[in-house]
Chain A
Amino acid sequence: MASLRTMLAKPWIWSFIGAFVVWLATIAFTGGYGAGGMITAALSLAVFTVIVGVGQMFVITLGPGNVDLSLPANIGLASAVAMKVMDGNDAMIAVGLIAALGCGAAIGAANYLLIWALRIPPIIATLSASFIIQSIDISYGRGLQIKPPPGFADFTNWQILGIPVLALLTVVFTVGAATALQRMIYGRSVLAIGQNIRAAWLAGVNVGRVRFLTYTLCGALGGIDGALLAGYFRGANVDIGNEYLLASIAVVVIGGTSVAGGKANVPGVWGAGLFLVLLLTMLNTFGVSAGVRLVLTGLIIVGVITAAGGEKAVR
């Protein structure tokens, strides 16, 4: 009983409960048909939200006003860079991934440069950066779909017993991210800055370097996500990252990370990522029209956030 109470006190548990309830509702509708297939689909699609969600989580945890709105443009450009470098050649896959990672990291570093050197608030800095990035992408990719090498495309579809390999690798990555957040000096510094930037500075935390690292990390994750998306969706394009503006922030908030900063958790990002995909699965399976689907998605997200937030108030 006590262990159940401890579990319920975890802010991230609500996103998993939400995902589970939505999944149950869907298989109740289909009479149990396709239950396993839905999990597989949810895992393969949630991966992309989780990767950028973790990056966004670190940025948001830096404290009020910190957010990276350049992720969609970053993902779009990195997907084009990765596919152009790979150029349909299996031997170039690793080089392409490194190029995407570098492209994303450079964007993240540039974001922080705008914030630090020009003292622009992060929201404005990353949003205006995204216009520049998008323009570069349009002239670089010319709006064309650039195809991934066959080996890379197949890799994104690999499964072991119905579990996508990409999802397993992402689990490994998130365990690493959770360790970095809770057990390493870097993660503790991010949390400290989010709780009180001045106190953290007085305590000897190198605030500038930690913030720089965090924006660069978030950018790099956006870059690698772009390459993976281009592999899974068989082609890079400018709009490939569009939905991750809202989704990357939504998974952080639904996952129980504080928007005010200073309080974060990684498991919630997974729960929320699965929740968002299963929600789409449920509404598609119910066959509701596009308009109703958008309204319901909004209402349900608000509901889950309220449930998770209410729990926090009790504590």
Chain B
Amino acid sequence: MKKLLVLSALAAMLASGTALADTSGKKIAFSNNYAGNSWRQAMLDSYGIVTKKAVEDKVVAAADVFTTADKEVPTQAAQVQNLILQGYDAIVINAASPDALNGAIKQACDAGIVVVSFDGTVTEPCAYRVVVDFKDMGKQEVEQMAKFQPKGGNLLEIRGLAGTSIDDAIHAGILEGVAAHPEFKIVGSVTGDWDQTTAQKAVATILPSLPDVVGIVDQGGDGYGAAQAFAAAGKPRPTIIMGNRQDELKWWKEQKEKDGYKTWSASIAPGVSTLAFWVAQQVLDGRTDIPHDLLVPYLAFTQDDFEAALPKIKEGGVATHEYTQEDAIGAIKANIK
């Protein structure tokens, strides 16, 4: 009986894959290249909450955050080199460029440091990449739109920052969705750079020349600006897919209270930084079976649950989710095939 217990405990340990090595003496650094918008602030907040607890619980020895102010590659490359010299065991990084930092990342790997990138991921093969399934998000936007606008019609697409993998992935997903729903037609496309101001301006300039639009498919951070542009031009309000920003959800709530307005909201949770932290911890823990490319789900809100989430988001901020060690282990498991 006792033997069986030990065996099952061992089996459970192997299955969950934890505690192969002790990480309580390990130091994890976070290299971040920008802090100037609500998403990045939420990312840092979530990271701070989770890592503070992890340090108190002696899961890791230290989890320090290093932010450069200017989005520049050379500054961040120099910062990574400093982190190597300071003797960190792992670096979690939101990188300024997918490939320009590869040299510094390679140096870190060669020094035996675990590198986990997220959001702004790096292409260097030795690093891990925590990537949100943006293509599915784009596809889901059209699927959801089909529920709200069953008759179909014209769509306006708002693109993100040109040249980024995220913009390409969401755009590809939207095209896939439209192909599956021929009742929709994309009649215009503008670049909103995930920024309310840019999006509002871009929509305002294209709006006069557009036919009637039933819906807007976008990438997050741009929905509120689009709504303002329609209001300013005196055009009827379309179904705008939202991106989890507090002002977007608040506007949605106001519209819902007014006339039962329906839509859907999805975006990458800033707390994905904490998932990257746990992945780094798991690698330091001695796990060797973790794939270098990890696909994780996005954070979505529906007509039924967005109002419950709204009070928890900071005024002017963005909805987030702090991941636990179990979440990370689950996400890793889902990616091992």
Contact = CB atoms under 8 A, between A and B. Distances in A.
**A in complex with B:** yes
Interface of A: 26, 29-30, 33-38, 40-42, 44-45, 131, 134-135, 137-138, 142-147, 157, 229, 233-235, 237-240, 243, 277, 280-281, 284-285, 287, 289-291, 293-294
Give the 3 A-B residue pairs with the shortest CB-CB distance, closest first. Answer: A37-B208, A34-B208, A290-B162
A287 B38 contact: no
B103 to A, nearest CB: 26
A40 B200 CA distance: 14
B316 A134 contact: no
A84 B197 CA distance: 18
Nearest to A157: B232
B317 interface: yes
A82 to B, nearest CB: 15
A144 B195 contact: no
Contacts, number: 119
Nearest to B233: A37
Given A35-B208, A233-B201, A280-B205, 20 more contacts: A29-B209, A30-B209, A33-B209, A34-B210, A38-B205, A40-B233, A41-B233, A134-B69, A138-B36, A142-B41, A143-B36, A147-B316, A233-B228, A235-B247, A237-B197, A239-B36, A239-B197, A280-B202, A287-B188, A294-B162
A289 B225 CA distance: 21
A131 B70 contact: yes
A285 B206 contact: yes
A144 B40 CA distance: 10
Contacts of B287: none
28 contacts: A26-B209, A30-B209, A33-B208, A36-B208, A37-B209, A37-B233, A38-B205, A41-B208, A137-B36, A138-B35, A138-B69, A142-B41, A143-B36, A143-B37, A144-B38, A144-B317, A145-B38, A145-B245, A145-B246, A234-B228, A234-B247, A235-B196, A237-B196, A239-B197, A280-B202, A280-B205, A284-B190, A294-B162
Interface residues of B, number: 42
A144 B316 contact: yes
Q: What is the predominant secondary structure among interface residues of chain A facing chain B? A: helix
**Which of A29, A234, A280, A291 counts the most chain B CB atoms within 10 A?**
A234
A237 B195 CA distance: 10
Main SS class of interface, B: helix
B69 A131 contact: yes
Given A143-B37, A144-B41, A240 B209 contact: no
Nearest to B250: A147
Contact of B191 (A30, A233, A290): A290
B69 A135 contact: yes
B88 interface: no
B20 to A, nearest CB: 39
Nearest to A293: B191
Interface in B33-68: 35-38, 40-41
B129 interface: no
B216 to A, nearest CB: 14
Given A41-B208, A238-B37, A233 B316 contact: no
Nearest to A41: B204
